[in-house]
């Protein structure tokens, strides 16, 4: 039944695209897809009618649903009949407000997934954010992951545009796969880049102006043009790269550099993606609990150590299991522990069986036993942290979905009643598990 539904949805999605001819912007990568999608939408702003992937709609069911403007009705048979009926009507071409641009995430759990999605919706612009060992459990090796992500660039037409992260060598190498033009973005040598990145923050979680916890500024360079960008409550190179990708896409769609700079100033990190939140006792929480891969964890640790603190305050890293890493799991967790031990981090708390390898590695590389603690679940870890935190501490919380690290953030945030608005997985089955 699922395969039949998949084929019908694919047929309706293709027919819909032929009827309305929107520009398809497709994004893939081991990490950063959702933040990049969010940044692309921000960079385009209100200049075009845009529809973007919602939730985790990045597979053979979710992508057609996004194209049709529908949501999954779950296990409801009659709900699916209604979706297909509305999808058929949409595919006839009668909707006057159909989006001009579709921003779609293309995920992959197996070989051939991205190629299949490209057959449904051939992209006009393809963005690749990173290649890493995330989901390597399903592919085998890093080269296999690279091959699968490269399918998006191979799926471009001759007039298509490849937008590649120049800071990731595996992604930059994909330039030879493109039949058309290639635009690079990144913090190093790239077509679209950021210079003079500066973050203003105060210790003790105090706001700078109004409700702002941080102020990030940089010079956005797009070829010969340079425009200043100011963003509030944004921290970390990860978000800057997402904004650069968004700027690269918007430029290809004909927006001016000044308009792009104005639009990206409205970019706000999504829940669970290096999002700054006020914590209890004037602490600052860095909520990065949406998911975790080795590359993202290492980047988040560097962000933690960039935050200024008072001499009596602590930097704390709470790291949960990184899942779906296959053969890379043990070494990847050990590398995280080694990295933590090399940084000015005062307290290291791990959650889950895999993350114990990170704790052991941190101890082996010089952290004291009094600085490293392991817990089987996030609830117990949250209670421990609530007892150990001091005024003005900065706490990074990160882990894969299965680690449920958002429970720690909910325990420690200053305004827990806002959890449904600012945290991940605050609905349905997630609240009962």
Report the CATH number at residue 285: 3.90.190.20
Q: Tell me the C-alpha distance between 13 and 392, whole Å.
A: 51
User: Do residues 7 and 134 both lie within one domain?
Assistant: yes
Rounded to an integer, the average pLDDT of 229-238 is 93
Overall average pLDDT of the 130-158 stretch: 86
Q: Does any domain span residue 9?
A: yes
Question: What is the domain-level CATH number for residue 20?
Answer: 3.40.1190.10
**Per-residue pLDDT for 120 more than 60?**
yes
Mean pLDDT, the chain, rounded, equals 94
Question: 205: pLDDT confidence band, cut at 50, 70 and 90?
Answer: low
28, 85: one domain: yes
CA distance 116 to 119: 5
Whether 252 and 24 have beta carbons less than 8 Å apart is answered as no
Residue 390, domain member (yes or no)? yes
- Residue 232 inside a domain? The answer is no
259 burial level (CB within 10 Å; 0-12, 13-18, 19+): middle
Verify that 245 and 287 share a domain, yes or no.
no
Q: Give me the long-range contacts of 39-42 (CB less than 8 A, separation at least 24).
A: 39/239, 39/242, 39/243, 39/245, 39/246, 39/264, 39/267, 40/103, 40/127, 40/245, 40/246, 40/249, 40/250, 41/103, 41/246, 42/243, 42/246, 42/263, 42/264, 42/266, 42/267
**Are residues 290 and 151 located together in one domain of the fold?**
no
Note whether 40 and 264 are within 8 A (CB): no
In a shared domain, residues 243 and 334: no
Say whether pLDDT at 134 is over 80: no
User: pLDDT above 70 covers what percent of the chain?
Assistant: 97
190: Cα within 13 Å, side-chain hemisphere: 28
- Whether residue 142 is predicted with pLDDT greater than 90 in this model: the reply is no
Collapsing DSSP states into helix, strand and coil, what is residue 239?
Answer: helix
Average pLDDT over residues 265-285: 93
Q: Mean of the pLDDT values across residues 281-293?
A: 94
| Same-domain status, 244 and 291 | no
Average pLDDT over residues 198-224: 78
Cβ-proximal residues to 353 (8 Å cutoff; 6+ apart), any chain: 321, 376
In this predicted structure, the answer to whether residue 8 has a pLDDT above a threshold of 70 is: yes
Same domain assignment for residues 77 and 136: yes
In a domain, 106, yes or no: yes
Higher-scoring residue by pLDDT: 361, 281: 361
185 shares a domain with 102: yes
Q: Indicate the SS3 state at residue 398.
A: strand
Does some domain include residue 175? yes
Distance, in Å, from the CA atom of 67 to the CA atom of 59, rounded to the nearest integer, reads 12
Q: What is the C-alpha to C-alpha distance for residues 318 and 358, in angstroms, rounded to an integer? A: 11
Q: Which domain holds residue 346?
A: 275-432
The answer to whether position 227 is within a domain reads no
* Alpha helices, DSSP H, located in 98-203: 113-120, 136-139, 142-154, 169-172
pLDDT tens-digit readout, 296-318: 999 999 999 999 998 899 999 99
**Is residue 135 over pLDDT 90?**
no
Whether 363 shows a pLDDT value over 80: the answer reads yes
Q: Is residue 265 part of a domain?
A: no
Q: Which residues is 185 bridged to in the sheet?
A: 165, 192
Output phi, psi for 184, to 5 deg.
-105, 150
* CA dist list (Å): 11 to 101, 120, 377: 20, 8, 44
pLDDT at 212: 79
Question: What's residue 46's pLDDT?
Answer: 94
Q: Is the pLDDT of residue 60 over 80?
A: yes
Residue 140 pLDDT > 80, yes or no?
no
Of 92-101, 132-141, 338-347, the poorest mean pLDDT is in 132-141
For the chain, percent of residues with pLDDT exceeding 90: 84
pLDDT for res 263: 97
Rounded to an integer, what distance in angstroms lies between the CA atom of residue 182 and that of residue 161? 6
In this predicted model, what pLDDT tens digit does every residue of 17-34 receive, in sequence order? 999 999 999 999 998 999
pLDDT computed for residue 137 by the predictor:
66
Q: What is residue 197's predicted lDDT score, i.e. its pLDDT? A: 95
- Same-domain status, 162 and 279: no
Task: Please check the confidence at residue 208 and state whether its pLDDT lies above 50.
Answer: no
What pLDDT is stored for residue 168 in this prediction? Answer: 96
Count up the domains in the chain and report the number: 2
pLDDT over threshold 50, residue 209: no
Write the DSSP string, 255-307: --HHHHHHHHTT--PPTTSSEEEEBGGG-EEEEE-S---HHHHHHHHHHHHHS
Considering the domain boundaries, does residue 35 fall inside one? yes
The per-residue pLDDT for 141 is 84
Measured N-to-C along each axis, helices 294-306 and 237-252 cross at an angle, to the nearest 10 degrees, of 110
Full DSSP string of 51-102: EE--TT--STTHHHHHHHT----TT-HHHHHHHHHHHHHHHTT--TT--SEE
Same-domain check for residues 314 and 177: no
16 shares its domain with 99? yes
- 292 and 249 part of one domain: no
Calculate mean pLDDT across residues 160-184.
Answer: 97
């Amino acid at each position: 039944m699922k395969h039949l539904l998949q084929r019908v949805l694919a047929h309706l999605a293709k027919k819909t695209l032929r009827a309305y001819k929107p520009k398809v912007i497709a994004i893939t990568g081991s990490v950063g897809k959702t933040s990049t999608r969010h940044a692309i939408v921000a960079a385009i702003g209100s200049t075009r009618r845009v529809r973007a992937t919602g939730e985790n709609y990045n597979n053979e069911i979710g992508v057609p649903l996004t194209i049709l403007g529908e949501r999954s009705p779950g296990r409801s048979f009659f709900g699916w009949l209604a979706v297909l009926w509305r999808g058929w009507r949409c595919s006839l071409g009668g909707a006057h407000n159909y989006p001009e641009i579709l921003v779609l995430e293309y995920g992959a759990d197996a070989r051939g997934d991205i190629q299949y999605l490209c057959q449904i919706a051939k992209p006009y612009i393809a963005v690749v954010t990173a290649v890493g060992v995330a989901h390597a459990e399903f592919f085998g090796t890093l080269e296999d992951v690279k091959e699968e992500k490269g399918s998006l660039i191979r799926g471009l037409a001759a007039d298509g545009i490849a937008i590649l992260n120049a800071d990731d060598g595996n992604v930059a190498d994909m330039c030879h796969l493109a039949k058309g033009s290639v635009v690079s973005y990144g913090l190093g040598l790239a077509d679209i880049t950021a210079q003079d990145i500066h973050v203003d923050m105060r210790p003790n979680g105090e706001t700078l102006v109004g409700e702002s916890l941080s102020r990030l500024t940089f010079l956005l360079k797009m070829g010969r043009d340079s425009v200043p960008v100011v963003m509030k409550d944004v921290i970390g190179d990860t978000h800057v790269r997402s904004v650069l990708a968004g700027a690269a896409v918007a430029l290809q769609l004909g927006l001016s550099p000044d308009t792009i700079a104005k639009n990206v100033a409205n970019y706000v990190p999504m829940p669970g993606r290096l999002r700054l939140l006020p914590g209890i006792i004037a602490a600052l929480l860095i909520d990065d609990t949406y998911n975790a891969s080795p590359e993202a964890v290492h980047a988040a640790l560097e962000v933690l150590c960039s935050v200024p603190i008072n001499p009596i305050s602590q930097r704390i890293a709470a790291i949960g299991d990184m899942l779906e890493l296959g053969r890379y799991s043990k070494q990847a967790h050990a590398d995280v522990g080694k990295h933590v031990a090399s940084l000015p981090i005062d307290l290291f708390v791990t959650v889950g069986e895999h993350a114990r390898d990170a704790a052991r590695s941190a101890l082996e590389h010089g952290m004291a036993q009094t600085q490293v603690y392991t817990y089987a679940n996030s609830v117990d870890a949250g209670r421990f942290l609530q007892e150990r935190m001091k005024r003005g501490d900065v706490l990074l919380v990160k882990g894969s979905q299965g680690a449920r690290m958002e429970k720690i953030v909910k325990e420690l945030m200053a305004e827990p009643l806002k959890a449904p608005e600012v945290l991940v997985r605050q609905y349905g089955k997630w609240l009962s598990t």
